[in-house]
Amino acid sequence: MRSKAFRHDLPLHVVLIILGIITFYPLIFTLFTSFKDNSQFYSTFWGPAWPLHWGNYADAWRQLYPVLINTVFVGLVSAFGTIFLASLSAYVFARHRFPGHDLLFYAIIALLMIPGVLTLIPLFLLVKDLGLLNTYWVLILPYIAGGQAFAIFVLRSFIASQPEEIFESARIDGANEFTIYQRIAMPMAKPILGTLAILALLGTWNDYIWPSVTLRNPELWTISLKLVSFSSQWASLQQYGPMFAGYVIASIPLLILFMFTMRLFIEGLASGAIKA
């Protein structure tokens, strides 16, 4: 049985493995090159070379760790803010009827159709007038706002599918709305909250445009913004080892997160497609 399946699958594996190698080779090349000095780079272009030059990582780390800390800080605060506000709204939309329910809900969901290119410039003018340029707030506040529509959309349907009996018995026990939200709706929604938090973190990690127009002060930069200038600096010195070490450093935190939360990640990415 097992061998029959294997014989059936073999040609498929061959094609998939070839596709996999082409897909992954640039990443493997990155890893190899990140450990090379310049002479190794030219003499063993395609493969790994010994000894490993860990110094490349030290050089890259010195430049990148401050922005990594910024990115994690902004990412966590925005993820928390997005989910906290969105879950409050999603809870009432899912479990209650009240005047204006549908109007408000659709007014929020309609924002899914507003692309970033439309709001980029007026948002910049707004944060400039509010005096937020060159602060962490200039990232955090718009990220929280930008995440609302999608998070509410996803959370509402999740909370709406929770069994009513539990909510009913809590109400009979005299629990107030916030307690019900906090003690019943949220604990049951944990997996989807995790998925949304990961998406928010990914969003902060990947955003380039918004930090590039709002942050002049390099001390506040996030990883995507820093990496571009970091990269061109090493490329102009033709020092490719530290440059690729920087790429690895920028990728590792997300890869680790991925390993521990694989299922949430895959679901999040698949549902995130609808957002994009």
Partner 1 sequence: MHEQSIERTGAVKPLLQGRPSRSIWQTIRQKGSLYLFLIPTIIFLLIFMYYPAFTAVRLSFYQWDGFGPERWVGLRNFERLFTNSVMLSSINNMLILTIARILIVLTTPLLAAELVFHLMSDRWKYWYRVIFVIPLVIPDVVTYLLWQFIFNPSVGLANVLLNNLGLSFLSNEWLGSHRTVLLSLALVGFPWIAGINFLIYLAGLQNIPREVLDAAAVDGATGFRRFWLVDVKLIMGQIKLLLILSIIFSLQAFVLILIMTNGGPGYSSMVPGLLMYEAAFQDGRFGYACAIGTAIFVVIFVLTYINMRYIQPETEHSPS
52 or 212: CB nearest partner 1: 212
Number of amino acids touching partner 1 (CB under 8 A): 100
Shortest CB 183 distance to partner 1, Å? 15
d(CA 35, CA 177): 56
Q: Does residue 271 touch partner 1 according to CB under 8 A?
A: yes
- For residue 45, the minimal CB distance to partner 1 (Å) is 6
On whether the CB atoms of residues 266 and 217 are closer than 8 A, the answer is: no
Q: Which stretch binds partner 1 (CB under 8 A): 49-57, 61-69, 72-80, 100-108?
A: 100-108
* Residues numbered 206-265 forming contacts with partner 1, rule: CB under 8 A: 206, 208-209, 213, 223-224, 227-228, 231, 235, 240, 247, 250-251, 254-255, 257-258, 262, 265
Which residue in the set 28, 58, 69, 126 belongs to the binding site for partner 1 (CB under 8 A)?
A: 126
Q: Which of 32, 35, 57, 91 binds partner 1 (CB under 8 A)?
A: 91
Q: Which is nearer to partner 1, 63 or 89 (CB)?
A: 89
Kindly identify the residues of this chain, within the stretch 144-183, that bind partner 1 according to CB under 8 A: 144-146, 148-149, 152, 154, 157, 160-164, 167, 176-177, 181
Binding partner 1 (rule: CB under 8 A), the pick from 13, 62, 183, 216 is 13
Residue pair 242/38 in contact by the 8 Å Cβ criterion: no
Tokens of 205: 């990690």
Query: Please, what is the minimum distance in Å from the beta carbon of residue 123 to partner 1?
Result: 4
* 119 is an interface residue for partner 1 by CB under 8 A: yes
**Least distance to partner 1, CB of residue 1, Å:** 10
Which of 44, 89, 135, 233 forms a contact with partner 1 (CB under 8 A)?
Answer: 89
**Smaller CB distance to partner 1: residue 88 or 220?**
88
Hey, which residues between 57 and 76 contact partner 1 (CB under 8 A)? Answer: none
The DSSP secondary structure of the chain, one letter per residue, reads -HHHHHHHHHHHHHHHHHHHHHHHHHHHHHHHHHT--HHHHHHSSSS--SS--THHHHHHHHHHHHHHHHHHHHHHHHHHHHHHHHHHHHHHHHH---TTHHHHHHHHHGGGG--HHHHHHHHHHHHHHTT-TTSTHHHHHHHHHHHHHHHHHHHHHHHHTS-HHHHHHHHHTT--HHHHIIIIIHHHTHHHHHHHHHHHHHHHHH--HHHHHH---GGG--HHHHHHHHHHHHHHTT-HHHHHHHHHHHHHHHHHHHHHTHHHHHHHHHHHHHH-
103 binds partner 1, rule: CB under 8 A: no
Q: Which of residues 28-47 bind partner 1 (CB under 8 A)?
A: 29-30, 41, 45
214 contacts 206 by C-beta, under 8 angstroms: no
**Six-digit token string for 128:** 């400039």
Q: How far is the CB of 119 from partner 1 (least distance, A)?
A: 4
